[in-house]
Copies of this chain bind each other. A is one copy, B any other.
Amino acid sequence: MLRLSKSAQNMRTSEIRDLMSVAIDPDIISFAGGMPNQDLFPIAEVDEIYQHLPLKTKQEGFQYGPTGGYPPLLESLSRFLESKGLPVKDNQLIITTGSLQAINLIAKIMLDPGDVAITETPCFIGAISAFKSYQAELVGVPMDADGVIAGKLRQALDAYQERCKLVYLTPNFHNPAGTIYNRERRREVLTLLQGRNVILVEDDAYNDLYFDESDRDLTRPLKAMGTEPVPICYCGSFSKIFGPGMRLGWLLASKEIVRQCEVAKQSMDACSSTFTQMLANEFLVQDRLPEYLQHIRPIYKRRCERLLESLQKFMPAGVAWNRPKGGFYIWVKLPEGMDATEVLKKAIPLGAVFVVGKTFDPNGTANDHLRLSFCHMPEDKMEKGVQIIAAAIQAVQAGR
């Protein structure tokens, strides 16, 4: 009999993976996966980049790199982050194997069993898994349409003052809630974290995915707001702006925190792929990102609008949802008392899947929401998919 560690006993499988394998069936309409559609990847651009790479650069790409990151990418990424107003010079940057690894590294250096991590409710499943894998206790704080509810966050911070080591928030285009924090909420959150001995993990994986240029200012990171009442660990990702298969993310934080994360990463995977870092660096250096973003933003916007129209058209009374300004997700509230898993069970045989709400609940229980991703699905299938989910909801309502 395997004598597993307490950590292994505490880990929780992500159900999303199982749903993604259901979604491989081409006849199933999937709102499940939180990944860019394959038709949207900048493949022609990378072909061109690869063709013109000097031999010396390719040799670097095949080789180990420093644990902190491929130096040319650290430089080009620094410039990119500085253009967002982020205080790169006063901090340190480390490249990670997806932004999930950035979250995992922070968890590793901060959390002992029994420590508390405060998150939003709902919360990105990857962060929940990472915190749980270090046997932390998760305390979720509810959100409204403008972000985490400040008064509730204060209550949680007061209640867990001793044991709380970190607060994890996603102010821009929250996964799964789709929310963007308004300016006031951002200020409130920063103010109330002041003078408390916690760090703030700011997950900004969707920063560049606003739909309208006029909303760009809203996406200004907390880390770029000039006051840092707590050490802010700013996490970002190439997954949504280049390709998740590259497995590249980053962490911008104080030198002390990054130094600790680097030591932890030395024992985890030594460095992230130099080969894909080399490609990402060229993508940035050749200034191909802005054009690529201008190409994908209206596509995601259109998909989102199409999904909203279909929801409006087909959802029965008692179902509610938000109107995202960017990102990948719509967070659908079911009629009072309805369980998302029941809806999913009806939807799968009819030919549609999504992720049930409890996946994103820090406690793994609240199940009155569905997450619908519009990033991955061709527009022409959306209406059909929503009709199926609406029918599934009606079937559950009718007790069929």
Contact = CB atoms under 8 A, between A and B. Distances in A.
B246 A269 contact: no
Given A59-B43, A275-B246, A17 B109 contact: no
This protein's copies in its complex = 2
A304 interface: no
Interface string A1-20: 11111111001111001001
A257 interface: yes
Interface string A117-136: 00000000010011011100
A267 B109 contact: no
Interface in A125-159: 126, 129-130, 132-134
A98 interface: yes
Contact of A126 (B46, B132, B199, B270): B270
Nearest to A246: B275
A351 interface: no
A41 interface: yes
Given A38-B59, A109-B4, A130-B267, A275 B245 contact: yes
B245 A65 contact: yes
A260 B132 contact: no
A231 interface: yes
A125 to B, nearest CB: 9
Contact of A3 (B97, B110, B130): B110
Interface residues of A, number: 80
A243 interface: yes
A313 to B, nearest CB: 31
A129 B266 contact: yes
Given A63-B38, A97-B97, A133-B267, A3 B197 contact: yes
B244 A111 contact: no
Contacts of A243: 61-63, 275
Contacts of A272: 97, 247
Nearest to A61: B245
B268 A4 contact: no
B5 A112 contact: yes
Given A17-B266, A266-B129, A273-B246, A5 B134 contact: yes
A339 B39 CA distance: 59
B13 A266 contact: yes
B5 A110 contact: yes
Contacts of A39: 59
B268 A5 contact: no
Contacts of A75: none
Contacts of A260: 2, 4, 8, 11
Interface in A58-91: 58-67
Interface stretch (A100-108, A175-183, A216-224, A323-331): A100-108
A124 to B, nearest CB: 11
A22 interface: no
A165 interface: yes
A254 to B, nearest CB: 8
A374 B296 CA distance: 48
A65 B199 CA distance: 32
Nearest to A4: B109
Interface string A255-281: 011001001101111111111101100
A58 B35 contact: no
A55 interface: yes
Contacts of A160: none
A60 B245 contact: yes
> What 5 A-B pairs come out closest when comparing CB atoms?
A245-B274, A62-B243, A129-B267, A41-B62, A8-B109
19 contacts: A2-B257, A5-B134, A5-B165, A7-B112, A8-B109, A8-B264, A11-B263, A33-B64, A35-B63, A39-B59, A41-B63, A62-B244, A63-B244, A101-B269, A129-B267, A133-B267, A247-B269, A273-B275, A275-B279
